[in-house]
Chain A
């Protein structure tokens, strides 16, 4: 038996530390030799920055890819997806097929989005096409619902741009760039309440792409009744489902924390809408996650010392179409309820089992393909190597009648996962 894994973290969360200790790993400081560093996104920036010139050795592993922001910054994600679609279109890929209105049939899964201030003119053009629409403004680099607001008049955005120009010079720097996205104003409501989905996705390598989906995602509910009326635009509790925001609402419940398991969602949808549309919805959710990862794979620095666990935020509209809202590089490890704590502890446990097999000293050259028994609550979502060796004609097949191409191989709730073949 080789030595014990030496770990460091700059995130003092018990769900992490308990997991490290359970494995008998040894805590060291970041200046010592370490094998495993669970770090914040701020730290990863320094580790891989040109100035530090830090080189990771073969037995060192970190929990982020160096330029993860290609996926996790709202503006860059949209940019990469737009580019990916154009490339597929150029190649004449059937995936890039469009309908009569010029909308992608299979790749239209992010709400229409523009960068501000850069794309201001494009935005105005789009806004004028549909002046009654509501848009949501989000700062590119912030998480947990900070700095978000809604607008439905051009004058509001003009005022915002005036205010931010005149206030301080900092706000003009690129850090304060915003994205503005068409607001999904017909969300699926359950019990009259709006919700979004938080799903966890683990990427162990981008080239070839290999990613895993965590089965225990959850819905986050707004505590206040949803109303699309514009008078409530200022009441963020109606619109945002982030726990960080909802916790400040009066009705926040500390027993369930407004969280509902994905299996509840499936039971509800199958019971009220039928099995077929429900399965289609979940297939489409898997599809858009894989497509978003494929979109960033070419630009991602596929450092072999890295893995990453993303928090995907998805909104479902009342036609049961899923929309990708954003991807988080550091999904919150704070536990809001007892169940939440168990979930996050297990999430980290299962993540570590895949990223650091057997809890042994990592060797970044290992083939990163763990056996099925080691996956815990993860399921293989996509394995590029396997997909290429097994189904070279999948893309073509997916064109004919079964846009998502997943049919018949669905991973079922029961965990009888036959999910590998479609991918």
Chain B
């Protein structure tokens, strides 16, 4: 890179001082992160001051009343609730900040090594192709990009030399080699080894715990898209559920919305309910912010742009459901790569944003910048995190905000090495344990023929099933991710799919044949599968 790029000047990133996980710092963060919220509150408070009826003696009560009637009480509640669902529970006050990211040293180390590998691969592509990581576009190039902003899909640059930095299967190899150094790591199979591919000991939920955790999914509770629930006729449930959903929206209560979506969203309310859970409100500032990101895209050309472009072309552009939204995907993903506010999530992500150095200053910390500016290097299939959201939000800036929030809350965990219960390692282990415990014959059979189940299900989980399920079913699944604030449902569904196809899988004799049995998930109904697996099998 030549001179310091714009995103470096703009912000000195989060590394300055990660906050102490105390109530005090939590509140200060609340203040910081909701400056806008506060500004607005202040503004309306000032307006109120001019009201002649205000008396000092009843000020406290008046303020309480004002907060209630003006809707600020709800807004503040939602803001606090949002923070609570994103940030980890406070740990010991003397724990160093990296423990918030990941408490196990060997996980941190593995993640660090993985990042080095990715960065090396990115750098070598740079050198091979003779393309800089970032460069300013000429005025003409800027004009051209601006004019075709809404139809980037029609452009056909030659990307044959570019290849995705990594694909899910490369990542799986890394996870398979994870070992806890405190454990005896004999490669000989013994009763102590896990029979699956994941060899680290982490606590994952068993079926009774899952039953309790996903209590609202049980057979006697009504679900959207299930029409044989025991107690109420489906039409009645759906109408009642719709009415309730409308009520939740009127109340504008994030917590209520999150509880509500556990039973699935009516299609027509989903977009609003999700926005409420994620506390996304699309103010004029948000649109302005998006426009700012867009102008950053217009001004600078990044190497990751080509990776994004290639990824969309390889995945969503060929997808029966998502090809229509190709152009939105470019817009959202290119803006995402420039968004330095995404860096905030590295406070609780085990990953650390990659650094690059301004040309000639290699290794000199004061010339380091994060690259890409948002710290996230896209991999093969990354665009599928955005694609399903295009069915819900047809306005790019809103689509963008929703995606960014879902990413920094959930999806980053699907490609970072950590011990978090929603982290991909735990999901893999949960999947393998469920299968091994409840379908031991199937698990053993597949293992014997060299078709380890995780080799097939890994890509489903890394993509949160996007591109594998029909969109309506996928959205019902993601309802539960938001509703339970957890990705564990992905592992449960993956196991449920194997259970559902168990008879056919018992007959196959090779990995390829097993893959063929599970190649098409587009006809599956998510909720019945989950319910049968969790609640209807004798356990």
Question: B391 contacts the other chain (Cβ, under 8 Å)?
Answer: yes
Question: B206 contacts the other chain (Cβ, under 8 Å)?
Answer: no
In the assembled complex, 24 residue pairs joining A and B whose CB atoms fall closer than 8 Å, in A order, are A190-B324, A191-B325, A191-B326, A191-B327, A191-B328, A192-B150, A192-B151, A221-B324, A225-B327, A251-B153, A253-B317, A256-B323, A258-B323, A263-B472, A267-B267, A270-B267, A270-B268, A271-B267, A271-B271, A271-B392, A272-B271, A272-B393, A275-B266, A339-B320
Question: A193 contacts the other chain (Cβ, under 8 Å)?
Answer: yes
Interface SS of chain B: helix
**A261 partner residues in chain B, CB cutoff 8 A:** 320
**B325 partner residues in chain A, CB cutoff 8 A:** 191
**B317 partner residues in chain A, CB cutoff 8 A:** 253
Q: Is A251 a contact partner of B154 (Cβ separation < 8 A)?
A: yes
Q: Is A253 a contact partner of B324 (Cβ separation < 8 A)?
A: no
Question: B319 contacts the other chain (Cβ, under 8 Å)?
Answer: yes
Those 3 A-B pairs whose CB atoms lie nearest each other, nearest first: A225-B151, A275-B268, A191-B324
Question: A41 contacts the other chain (Cβ, under 8 Å)?
Answer: no
Q: Is B150 a contact partner of A256 (Cβ separation < 8 A)?
A: no
B interface footprint on A285-307 (CB within 8 Å = 1, 0 otherwise) = 00000000000000000000000
Q: Is B390 a contact partner of A191 (Cβ separation < 8 A)?
A: yes
Q: Is A264 a contact partner of B321 (Cβ separation < 8 A)?
A: yes
A191 to B325, CA, bound (A): 5
Q: Is A267 a contact partner of B390 (Cβ separation < 8 A)?
A: no
Question: A24 contacts the other chain (Cβ, under 8 Å)?
Answer: no
**B393 partner residues in chain A, CB cutoff 8 A:** 272
Q: Is A272 a contact partner of B392 (Cβ separation < 8 A)?
A: yes
B interface footprint on A164-194 (CB within 8 Å = 1, 0 otherwise) = 0000000000000000000000000011110
Nearest-neighbour CB distance to chain A for B14, whole angstroms, equals 35
A209 to B227, CA, bound (A): 34
A275 to B319, CA, bound (A): 25
Q: Is B324 a contact partner of A193 (Cβ separation < 8 A)?
A: yes
Question: A402 contacts the other chain (Cβ, under 8 Å)?
Answer: no
Question: B510 contacts the other chain (Cβ, under 8 Å)?
Answer: no
Instruction: From known contacts A270-B267, A414-B227, infer whether A224 and B394 are also in contact, taking CB-CB under 8 Å.
Output: no
Question: B318 contacts the other chain (Cβ, under 8 Å)?
Answer: yes
- Hey, which bits of chain B sit against chain A, CB under 8 A? 150-151, 153-154, 156, 227, 266-268, 270-271, 317-321, 323-328, 390-394, 471-472
B interface footprint on A136-147 (CB within 8 Å = 1, 0 otherwise) = 000000000000
Q: Is A256 a contact partner of B320 (Cβ separation < 8 A)?
A: yes
A225 to B150, CA, bound (A): 8
Identify which of residues 210-264 in chain A touch chain B, using a CB-to-CB cut-off of 8 Å: 221, 223-225, 250-251, 253, 255-256, 258, 260-261, 263-264
Nearest-neighbour CB distance to chain B for A267, whole angstroms, equals 5
Interface SS of chain A: mixed
**B328 partner residues in chain A, CB cutoff 8 A:** 191-192
**A120 partner residues in chain B, CB cutoff 8 A:** none
Question: A274 contacts the other chain (Cβ, under 8 Å)?
Answer: yes
**A275 partner residues in chain B, CB cutoff 8 A:** 266-268
Given contacts A191-B324, A191-B326, 20 further A-B contacts (CB under 8 A): A190-B394, A191-B390, A192-B327, A192-B328, A221-B324, A224-B154, A253-B318, A255-B318, A255-B320, A260-B320, A260-B321, A267-B471, A267-B472, A270-B268, A271-B267, A271-B268, A271-B271, A271-B391, A272-B271, A414-B227
Identify which of residues 143-169 in chain A touch chain B, using a CB-to-CB cut-off of 8 Å: none
Q: Is A256 a contact partner of B319 (Cβ separation < 8 A)?
A: yes
Report the nearest B residue to A250, measured CB to CB. Answer: B156
**B268 partner residues in chain A, CB cutoff 8 A:** 270-271, 274-276, 278
Identify which of residues 76-97 in chain A touch chain B, using a CB-to-CB cut-off of 8 Å: none
**B266 partner residues in chain A, CB cutoff 8 A:** 275
- Hey, which bits of chain A sit against chain B, CB under 8 A? 190-193, 221, 223-225, 250-251, 253, 255-256, 258, 260-261, 263-264, 267-268, 270-272, 274-276, 278, 339, 414
Report the nearest B residue to A337, measured CB to CB. Answer: B320
**A190 partner residues in chain B, CB cutoff 8 A:** 324, 394
A271 to B267, CA, bound (A): 5
**B153 partner residues in chain A, CB cutoff 8 A:** 251
A287 to B27, CA, bound (A): 59
Report the nearest B residue to A278, measured CB to CB. Answer: B268
B324 contact from A260, A271, A339, Cβ within 8 A: A260
A319 to B435, CA, bound (A): 50
Report the nearest A residue to B265, measured CB to CB. Answer: A271
Report the nearest A residue to B396, measured CB to CB. Answer: A192
Nearest-neighbour CB distance to chain B for A271, whole angstroms, equals 5
A414 to B270, CA, bound (A): 19
Report the nearest A residue to B471, measured CB to CB. Answer: A267
A224 to B156, CA, bound (A): 13
**B156 partner residues in chain A, CB cutoff 8 A:** 250-251
Q: Is B318 a contact partner of A224 (Cβ separation < 8 A)?
A: no
Q: Is B391 a contact partner of A268 (Cβ separation < 8 A)?
A: yes
Nearest-neighbour CB distance to chain A for B339, whole angstroms, equals 22
A253 contact from B150, B267, B323, Cβ within 8 A: B323
Most A CB contacts (10 A, CB to CB) among B156, B318, B390, B391 go to B391
Nearest-neighbour CB distance to chain B for A407, whole angstroms, equals 15
Report the nearest A residue to B470, measured CB to CB. Answer: A263
A222 to B212, CA, bound (A): 49
B471 contact from A191, A255, A256, A264, Cβ within 8 A: A264
Nearest-neighbour CB distance to chain A for B482, whole angstroms, equals 15
**A414 partner residues in chain B, CB cutoff 8 A:** 227
A192 to B321, CA, bound (A): 15
A223 to B324, CA, bound (A): 9
**B320 partner residues in chain A, CB cutoff 8 A:** 255-256, 260-261, 339
A223 to B271, CA, bound (A): 27
Report the nearest A residue to B155, measured CB to CB. Answer: A251
Nearest-neighbour CB distance to chain B for A309, whole angstroms, equals 24
Nearest-neighbour CB distance to chain B for A256, whole angstroms, equals 5
Nearest-neighbour CB distance to chain A for B324, whole angstroms, equals 4
Report the nearest A residue to B320, measured CB to CB. Answer: A256
**B321 partner residues in chain A, CB cutoff 8 A:** 260, 264
**A274 partner residues in chain B, CB cutoff 8 A:** 268
Report the nearest A residue to B151, measured CB to CB. Answer: A225
Nearest-neighbour CB distance to chain B for A225, whole angstroms, equals 4
Nearest-neighbour CB distance to chain B for A42, whole angstroms, equals 35
A116 to B154, CA, bound (A): 36
Q: Is A256 a contact partner of B318 (Cβ separation < 8 A)?
A: yes
